Structure 1
Amino acid sequence: MGSGKRSLTTATLFLACACACAVLATPGVAYASPAPKPTTTGTPTAPPTPTAKPVSTKELEAVRLKLDELYHDAAVATDAYNAAEEKTEKQSAEIVDLAREIVKGQAKLDELKDRAGAAARAQYRGGSLPPEARLWLSDNPQGFLDGAGRVRAGEHATKGLLDEMARTQQDLKQYEKDASAQWKKLEANREARAEAKKKITKRIAAAEQLESQLEKKEKERLAKLEEQAAYQAQSVWLGSGVLADIKSKASAEGRKAVKYATDQIGKPYVWGAEGPSSFDCSGLTSQAWASAGHPIPRTSQEQWKQLKHVAVQDMRPGDLVIYFDDASHVGMYIGDGAIVHAPRPGRNVTITGAGSMQILGVVRPDA
């Protein structure tokens, strides 16, 4: 094996698989032959060079399962991060809109106050005598009555101004209350996003540390085990005869979404990414459908909750296949029993069997 590295031992591997976020820093233990007994004559024999114990297939399978668990946890946390990010953006926009309404409402209130003040001053200049006395003293009773009508109209207008001022003040109070509530939600989502980020980085770091203990050849063997597990799951899925029942053709929007998704093949998975240079699983599917002119929810969990469910045997290219009981992963069906997806950290956007993972169900964005 390469200099400076040793293979994982049984003890190290099972320690890693027993602890969810264990950091495997201990190198493999060398197993040397017993040292020869000293002799009284001749040149002393040097002990043999210690050799590392090779990692068994069973141990590598334990590593594979542990990596699946760690990356699954990271995917769940990524969905939580993306959801908090989406809510944060939405609430920030709502706060901006409320702030604009507050500014407009305050300007309107100032204008109403000016108009009400002008009306009050005009009414004051009209004199303090009661209307009956002014009628008796008037040289032109009809003119006075006409004027009195205008005064009453002015009084009604003034009352209307005051009522509108009261409503505007109430609106301003409500805007301020709503803005305060949205700000609290914004802060809560920022905290949720930060907590999710911590979980993501912790799980990915544990997975990377686990993989770093393997030699190059062992990593190649691990990759083969991953391929075999996916192939076996896909074979079981196809063996059920489901593909024979899948005959639906893609819609025009679905074809556009499939083209976008397949054009991204080879780009790296990065959690929280929505392109154009990298993607996470739901970032790929949401951007693919956005490019087709049909926006969908950002996260795989919300895609599962909000989009129309269809039977697996009725799915067509462009539909989204949701995986695992917690809807923590998503891929896009492209036909012939395959999906395109962004798998996990350390992998690139690729095509794989639709049945290579545990299918929760299928949703149709353009139903």
Structure 2
Amino acid sequence: MAFIGLAFATLTLGTPLVAATADPEPSLPELAKQVEKLHTDIETLTEQYNGERVKLKQAQRAAASAKKTLAVSESELASRRTKASLLAQSSYMSGGLGSAMLFSQPTDPDTFLDQATTNYALQQQQSEEVAQVARAIEAAERAQASAKARTAEVKDLLSEIGTKRTKIERLVDKVESNLFSEVRSRAKSNSRGSRVKISVPIVGSGKAAEAARWALTQQLKPYVWGAEGPNSFDCSGLVMWAYQKVGISLPHYTGDQWTAGTHISRDELRPGDLVFFYNDLHHVGIYIGAGLMVHAPQTGDVIHIASIDNRPFAGGVRVAD
């Protein structure tokens, strides 16, 4: 908890995301570093969130187990008490031990003593069994109360982590908006027939981000069906070529590329992730950030940057970090 609060305070208070009025506007590389740090913070909080979810499930299982144990123990206690009561009634109706000592088989004292001892031992055993079950019930009640308290505590932690993650995600959107404002504007006006190469500051240092950078170097090369470089590409050929450059082998087919990594939602997209379109997944591009991708679109066009909103989004795939 202290770590989460400190990390978030440092993020939101220690390093301003947008410079003060008197300070110069942050450069694109500086904005890119801020976005990368924010994504790292989100990943940290996400893993903490996942860890707390595991603890929540454990606490819920413990509560359910304690509840079951309590129910069994209460049923057993009722049964033991009934048996003890019946034994006491039987002893009373027969006159008890004192009466038995006076009237039961006086000519055979050894047999009488054996019966009396057995009867007394049985009563003691019943009393001890009732006491044991009562103690088990107390332990089960304590376990149930502890599990319920732990469940409530973890739920509070999940809520707090989720709130902080949401705030950071909003900051990411704000910083990415500044980072990609010019790129988005140029991409909008980058119409077919007059395409231009657009410089994009890719966030990240892993293989996925590097693959995105390689794909961007191929801007303005023509789309050719079945091509996989170096002078022309189709959509899956560009993806295969870019990832080949970072040492990752992918098939030249959107259907197989769809199963080549971890499926992620639109909100989870990071630079270098694969973005697929249409129900039959017949088109793929490489995500570069801020809702944009680089792709080889269709015959008669060239590799360029475009919004992922221009086509029906089917899903994302993370091939590498």
* TM-score of the superposed pair, with normalisation by structure 2: 0.53
How far, CA to CA, are the matches of 2:124 and 2:205 in structure 1? 79
User: Which residue number corresponds to residue 191 of structure 2?
Assistant: none
Match 2:102 to one of 133, 136, 152 = 133
User: Which residue number corresponds to residue 3 of structure 2?
Assistant: none
How far, CA to CA, are the matches of 1:225 and 1:171 in structure 2? 58
SS in 2 for 1:199: helix
Q: What code does the residue aligned with 1:204 have? A: E
Residues 152/90 of structure 1: CA separation in 2 closer, same or farther (3 Å cut): same
Match 1:193 to one of 154, 158, 167 = 158
| RMSD of equivalent CA atoms | 4.1
Percent identity of paired positions between Structure 1 and Structure 2: 13
User: Which residue number corresponds to residue 267 of structure 1?
Assistant: 264
SS in 2 for 1:349: strand
What do residues 194-220 of structure 1 show as CA deviations (whole Å, max 9, x unaligned)?
110011111111111222231316786
SS in 2 for 1:160: helix
* C-alpha displacement of 1:228: 9.3
* C-alpha displacement of 1:21: 6.9
Match 1:171 to one of 123, 128, 136 = 136
* C-alpha displacement of 1:76: 1.2
**Is 1:107 aligned to residue 75 of structure 2?**
yes
Q: What runs of 5+ residues in structure 2 fail to find an aligned partner?
A: 1-10, 188-197, 212-255, 270-314
User: Which residue number corresponds to residue 49 of structure 2?
Assistant: 81
Residues 157/222 of structure 1: CA separation in 2 closer, same or farther (3 Å cut): farther
What do residues 254-312 of structure 1 show as CA deviations (whole Å, max 9, x unaligned)?
xxxxx9x95444533667xxxxxx9xxxxxxxxxxxxxxxxxxxxxxxxxxxxxxxxxx
Match 1:67 to one of 35, 41, 51 = 35
Q: How does 1:31-46 map to 2 (within 5 A)?
A: none
Residues 188/20 of structure 1: CA separation in 2 closer, same or farther (3 Å cut): farther
How far, CA to CA, are the matches of 2:131 and 2:12 in structure 1? 67
What do residues 118-169 of structure 1 show as CA deviations (whole Å, max 9, x unaligned)?
0001111221545553257x5xx35x85465344323212211110111111
Residues 123/226 of structure 1: CA separation in 2 closer, same or farther (3 Å cut): closer
How far, CA to CA, are the matches of 1:21 and 1:100 in structure 2? 53
SS in 1 for 2:27: helix
CA contact (8 A) 2:45 2:161 kept: yes
CA contact (8 A) 2:263 2:317 kept: yes
What do residues 9-53 of structure 1 show as CA deviations (whole Å, max 9, x unaligned)?
xxxxxxx999757479x9xx9xxxxxxxxxxxxxxxxxxxxxxxx
* C-alpha displacement of 1:187: 1.3
Residues 132/100 of structure 1: CA separation in 2 closer, same or farther (3 Å cut): closer
Residues 96/190 of structure 1: CA separation in 2 closer, same or farther (3 Å cut): same
Match 2:66 to one of 88, 91, 98 = 98
How far, CA to CA, are the matches of 1:165 and 1:224 in structure 2? 71
* Corresponding residue pairs, total: 206
CA contact (8 A) 1:267 1:349 kept: yes
Match 1:221 to one of 199, 204, 210 = 199
CA contact (8 A) 1:78 1:200 kept: yes
